[in-house]
Structure formats: C-alpha cells, structure tokens
Amino acid sequence: MTDRSERVLAVDIGGTKIAFAEVAGAKLRNRRQIPTPRSGGDALVEAIAAEIRGARPSRLAVATTGIVSDGGTLTALNPRTLPIENGYPLASRLQASIGVRPLVVNDAQAAAWGEYAFGAGQGSRNFMFVTVSTGIGGGLVLAGRLQSGQAGLAGHVGHMSVSGADAPCGCGRRGCLETVASGTAIAARFGERVGRTVTAKDVFAEAAAGNAEAEVMLEDAAAALAETFANLVAATDLDRIALGGGVGLASGVLDRVLRHADSLPTAFRRQIVQARAGADAGLIGVADLVMKKNFIM
C-alpha cells in the first residue's frame, strides 16, 4: 500500500472503542484503537481527528454504530450505545477537521459488505449479515448491492418484533429481537431469574453446567433469531444468512438457531452460516465500499 492513490484509511466507531486501519482488500495495516468518547459528536470528531491528523489519506471510510442518512448524518438508534446529538453532521464535521470528505456507513451494513465481498457471503446474491453482541445489528445485500435505505435504517433487524416479547427496548419500541437475543438481554433476563448481576458469558457457562434457567434463556434467544431470519426470507428471499458477533459466534449458538429454523416450514428455510470475515469486517467492508461505491442509499 505504498501508492497513496490506493490508500484507504478506515475507521470503525463502536459504543466502547474506535478502530483505525489502513486497508487494501481484506488486509489491514497499522491497526489501532482508542476509547469512544461519550460526550457527543464534537468530542467524537476531535478524537478521530487527533488520531489520524497527519496521515493525509486520499480516501477516508467510516463505519459507525447508529443510523446514517443524507450522506453522513448520524443519529443514535439506541442512545445507550452511542450518546450523540440527533442528526449530527458527522461527514461534514470530519471533512472540516481533517480535509477529506469521508464515506460514512452504518457499522453493521459495512460489516455485511465485508462478509459479502470477502467472507461468508461470497457466491451469494441476496445476503444478510446479522451480528449479535451487546446489541443486534445487520446489513442487507440484494442483487449484489448493499442496501442502506432512504433514512439509513435498512438491516436494523435487532429492532424487529418477535413473538411473545414485550420488554421495552432502548429504541422506544417494545418486544424487539434485541430485548430477547442480545448479550445484554440474555444477561439481564437470567439475572432477574437468579437475583444477581451476570454477564452473557456467565449465562453460557451456567447452561454448559446444566442450569435449566440459563438453557431457557439461550433457547429463547435462538428461537427469536430463527423467527427473525424466517421473516427476512419472506420479505427479501435471501439465499444466505451469516451470523456473527460475540454472542452469535459463541459455542453452540449456530446449532441452536439451526435447530429452531429446521422446525419452520420449508419455504422459509435458507442457508444459515457462521460469519468468517472476523471482528474487523466493518473496517474491511467500508474500505471496499469507498473504492467501489457499490451500495444503494
């Protein structure tokens, strides 16, 4: 990556950390990360600018949690994840600070493209990537084009309703997939049952040790994911779904989801696989997008 004309500096903004790397294809160089500021958009821009000032990238690609619309305006779908002003002009503020106009894409959408181009989505036509971690996000590729949507909401499957769920969600609705199947929800629901604070990792360990309550939490999560995947198939006729994220890739999760999916009518079953592009799929995907501009806003 010695040719400056082909250098892409990619940034991935998450709720707890911001990752940076120079990217060529699926290869990363000089990857590093810093804590995510929690005091609004200007602090976010200042932190990013301080990290990359002097790098003089020819192309800047930014993946971020939240809803991205209007070519780079950022709104938090769940303010608990990233506290930021509604409609914050992230792209224009970064351009003013750094001197390069960035492509800004939702992080799960960027990761979906990374999986489609370099990972589990290769060879598919209509593809969905779903990441299950602290929260739940996703990205949708139809006919080889990443879908963003008119307001940037395409692929936010964590906020689709699931049967039997009624807990309030940080997005303002009730009964979202994220309130049942996210790592946060799995831990909170089990913690309520046992009367103590636990992590999702604790719940998996309890289930492995034979705890029936923990087993119920994981089965509920898997059933909700399988139901959501069937709904996505009905709406978009996907041919493949990739499951990723810290919870999605945890031992046994895919098998649980497949078991529930196999109980559904044949018309709504599709190939469900593990994501392969890794934790930096968002960096890889957004860098590839800024080179190809292969998405629909």
The CATH architecture annotation of domain 4-109+280-296 reads 2-Layer Sandwich (3.30)
Q: 123-274, which class in CATH? A: alpha beta
CB-based burial, 15-54: b 16+ in 10 Å, e otherwise? beebbbbbbbebebeeeeeeebbeeebeebbebbeebbee
Task: Evaluate if residue 284 carries a pLDDT over 60.
Answer: yes
The lowest-confidence range among 85-89, 115-119, 170-174, 243-247 is: 170-174
How does pLDDT run across 64-122, given as a tens digit for each residue?
A: 999 999 889 999 887 878 889 999 999 999 999 999 999 999 999 999 999 999 999 99
pLDDT of residue 2: 40
- What does the mean pLDDT of the chain come to? 93
- Domain range list for the chain: 4-109+280-296, 123-274
Nearest to 221 by CA among 239, 245, 194: 245
Nearest to 38 by CA among 60, 14, 67, 72: 14
How does pLDDT run across 222-237, given as a tens digit for each residue?
A: 999 999 999 999 999 9
Whether 123-274 and 4-109+280-296 are alike in CATH topology: the answer is yes
pLDDT of residue 296: 55
